[in-house]
């Protein structure tokens, strides 16, 4: 994390790009791990990985329909760090931190400092989970839950294991993709030792992200017995074509990950330039379905504020 790029000018220089390509990042600073930058093509301003993380002028445009809390997360917060938005599963927001700041993320406006539950708040969250026998799955979310150290994570996992109605532990993380070094031996050791069924949902949007040390890191995660799934976001100029989606799915399965969700972009202020019309998304997914085995085709989904589950578009 210390070595990550935080200055857009420095990243542009590293990639042999003109510094004017970047704009001021505003409150949501640029953050790009070096190993992620190393998977970008030098000299290519349209690189699909660069586009996801480089602040650009278009972010500062105000576009009607794009707001601060498009998915209604604040409305579903039931206690510090605990989001009970879905039936039978709860989301535990462990930290507001990520290893990367994806420019399209709704996190850019979410007041995580007040809403996330650091270790000092876990007792309350655990008591709430223990008191509700309908909860069978706990989703560790963020930010990125793997920004926490393995010690606290292992102890949280042990506490969850002691609640008999909890059957599954799900971890939503982009770290194995953007900073694969995070998949340490201590991480795989506590995961492997858990009695809970484990699901790790990673987040990759383009096949070029699944290079370098990423396949090995995913292999270590799979060796714990965890099921590996991917969620992607449909992003203009990154993965808005049949060819890029097909490549992504094929590459995912080659590295042991099932394409699970393709998200329609949440309409968050500052991300309008990433939006792909739903009609185009439908066309891409229908074309994938016609030409590939079913397990290579993600569910194309949209988050609707206030709805108890995602809306499946295709």
Structure tokens at 133: 């026998």
Query: What track of x and - describes contact with ligand SF4 for positions 144 through 173 (by CB under 6 A)?
Result: x-----------------------------
Q: How many residues bind ligand SF4 (CB under 6 A)?
A: 11
Q: How far is the CB of 26 from ligand SF4 (least distance, A)?
A: 14
DSSP conformation class of 268: B
Task: Name which position in 11, 15, 98, 179 contacts ligand SF4 (CB under 6 A).
Answer: 98
Q: What's the closest the beta carbon of residue 46 comes to ligand PLP, in angstroms?
A: 28
Residue 271 DSSP symbol = -
Residue with smaller CB distance to ligand SF4, 141 or 166 = 141
Tell me how far apart the alpha carbons of residues 124 and 154 are, in angstroms, rounded to a whole number. 18
| Least CB distance to ligand SF4 at residue 288 (A) | 22
27 DSSP 8-state letter: T
Contact residue for ligand SF4 among 39, 51, 182, 203 (CB under 6 A): 203
Instruction: Draw the binding track, 100-119, toward ligand SF4 (x: CB under 6 A; -: no contact).
Output: xxx--x-x------------
Least separation in angstroms between CB 92 and ligand PLP: 11
Residues 63, 69, 75: CA angle, nearest 5 degrees: 150
Residue that has been written with the tokens 């708040």 in this structure: 121
Residues present in the chain in total? 314
Least distance between ligand SF4 and beta carbon 58 (Å): 18
Which H/E stretch holds residue 34? Answer: helix 34-37
Q: Residues 188, 233: contact at Cβ < 8 Å?
A: no
Q: Can you tell me the distance from the alpha carbon of 204 to that of 176, in angstroms, rounded to the nearest whole number?
A: 10
Where on the chain is the footprint of ligand SF4 (CB under 6 A)?
98, 100-102, 105, 107, 142-144, 174, 203
């Amino acid at each position: 994390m210390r070595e990550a790029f935080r200055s857009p000018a420095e990243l542009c220089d590293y990639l042999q790009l003109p510094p004017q390509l970047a704009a001021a990042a505003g409150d949501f600073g640029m953050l790009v791990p070096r190993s992620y930058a190393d998977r970008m093509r030098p000299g290519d301003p349209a690189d699909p990985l660069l586009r996801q993380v480089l602040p650009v002028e278009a972010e500062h445009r105000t576009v009607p329909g794009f707001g601060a809390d498009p998915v209604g997360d604040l409305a579903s917060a039931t206690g510090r760090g605990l989001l009970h938005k879905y039936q039978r599963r709860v989301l535990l927001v462990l930290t507001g931190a990520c290893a990367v700041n994806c420019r399209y993320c709704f996190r850019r406006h979410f007041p995580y400092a007040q809403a996330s539950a650091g270790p000092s708040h876990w007792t309350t969250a655990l008591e709430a989970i223990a008191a509700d026998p309908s909860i069978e799955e706990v989703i560790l979310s963020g930010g990125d839950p793997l920004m926490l150290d393995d010690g606290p994570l292992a102890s949280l996992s042990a506490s969850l294991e002691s609640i008999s109605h909890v059957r599954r532990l799900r971890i939503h993380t982009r770290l194995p993709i953007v900073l694969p070094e995070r998949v340490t031996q201590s991480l795989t050791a506590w995961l492997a030792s858990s009695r809970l069924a484990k699901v790790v949902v990673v987040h990759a949007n383009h096949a070029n992200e699944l290079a370098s040390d990423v396949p090995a890191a995913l292999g270590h995660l799979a060796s714990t017995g965890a099921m590996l799934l991917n969620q992607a976001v449909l992003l203009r100029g990154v993965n808005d074509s049949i060819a890029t989606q097909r490549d992504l799915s094929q590459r995912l399965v080659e590295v042991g990950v099932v394409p699970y969700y393709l998200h329609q972009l949440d309409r968050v202020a500052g991300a309008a330039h990433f939006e792909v019309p739903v009609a185009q998304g439908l066309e891409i997914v229908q074309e994938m379905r016609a030409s590939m085995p079913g397990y290579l085709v993600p569910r194309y989904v949209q988050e609707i504020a206030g709805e108890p589950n995602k809306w499946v578009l295709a």
